[in-house]
Every structure is written in C-alpha cells, then in structure tokens.
Structure 1
C-alpha cells in the first residue's frame, strides 16, 4: 500500500489502513519504539508470532503515508514514532467506530467506563 499524504487526503487514509496497521499505530500512540519492541507487542496481542516480512513492510508503508516517523537509534536499530497525522488517523478510526457503536446511553456509558478505567 503506497499512499501519500497531501492536503485533505490525510483524513481519508484511516479507512484504508489494515487492522494490522491500526494495531501498530495504537502501539506507537503509547510511546516511540524500535521494531522488535513493536513486534513483541503485536505478538502479545495476536497470541502468535509476527514475521519480520509482515511487520517491516507495514512499518515502511506507515512511514510513507506520513503516519509514522522512522529515525535511527544506532547503525542497526530504527525507532518508530507516531506522527501528528498518525494520531489523527487513530482519532478518525475511533470516531467512526464510536459513531456506530454508541446507539444509546447504555453503550455510551460502556465507552465512558472503558476510558475512565484507562486513566
């Protein structure tokens, strides 16, 4: 997936992201990480091994889209950080999900309880 970010196309990127890419953005929302740390988090989420051949091309795509920033920690290790556009993509996705999920006060309260429990 090779999408570039320009002007208003930023908000249209979120719907194009795979679930795997959304998980990467969520992990990076917490803090910047190097590739193997992202891999471990994904393996914990999925309960199975995540191959380098799946992780790094997706990270490269997210960098190309401007959602993730890649920097060099040392000659062998890169660090990945969420950009402002990456943050916006997460918010866009959450907003869409919430707009479908929250159909009454009871569901709104469930979301409120989830958010409160995370603080």
Structure 2
C-alpha cells in the first residue's frame, strides 16, 4: 500500500467496506461524502483503474453501461498489513 496515494487508499477502503460488488457511482458517492466535495470522473476512474491494475480490486460488468468493483484477496491482505502497521503508532 506504500505505493498508493491517499485517495487510492480511500477508494480501496470504501470498496472493501461494501458487502457486494459496487458500482463506480456508488464508490463516488461514498468518497464524496467523506471528502465533502464533488469528485469528478477524471479523478475517480483513473484511480480506480490503478487499484485494478495493481490487482487489489477486481473490475467487472454489471450491465452494458455499469462496471462493478470488488476487493481481491490481495487487496484485503494489503489493508490488513496497513492496519497492523498503523496499530504500531496509533493505539486507541
């Protein structure tokens, strides 16, 4: 995860937190709520493609116009490693 931007890491966390395959639009809405600002497609989709290319997220098709994103085992492992690292420094 050390080679991801903070935004890419946030996308990964949002995708991991969903119960099922989620659309790019659903991810966008969650991230916009957290950032309290509009996230444009030119920022969202290239960053989603990055986490897909790193095999942290799987991308598929829900229908002809809508893709879904789902966390991979590798993505879950990366998040777990990050959380363990964070716990060394932040223990509430």
- TM-score bracket for the superposition, by shorter chain length: over 0.9
TM-score (normalizing by structure 1): 0.72
Structure 1 segments (4+ residues) deviating >3 Å = none
Partner of 1:61: 50
RMSD of aligned residue pairs (Cα, Å) = 0.9
Unaligned ranges ≥5, structure 2: none
Structure whose CA Rg is larger? 1
Summarize the alignment of residues 26-45 of structure 1 with structure 2, pairs less than 5 Å apart: 26-31=13-18, 32-45=21-34
Unaligned ranges ≥5, structure 1: 1-13, 103-109, 111-119
Partner of 1:97: 86
TM-score (normalizing by structure 2): 0.93
1:15 equivalent in alignment to 2:2: yes
Higher helix share: 1
Partner of 2:35: 46
* Number of corresponding residues: 90
Please report how far the alpha carbon of residue 98 of structure 1 lies from its aligned counterpart in structure 2 after TM superposition: 0.9
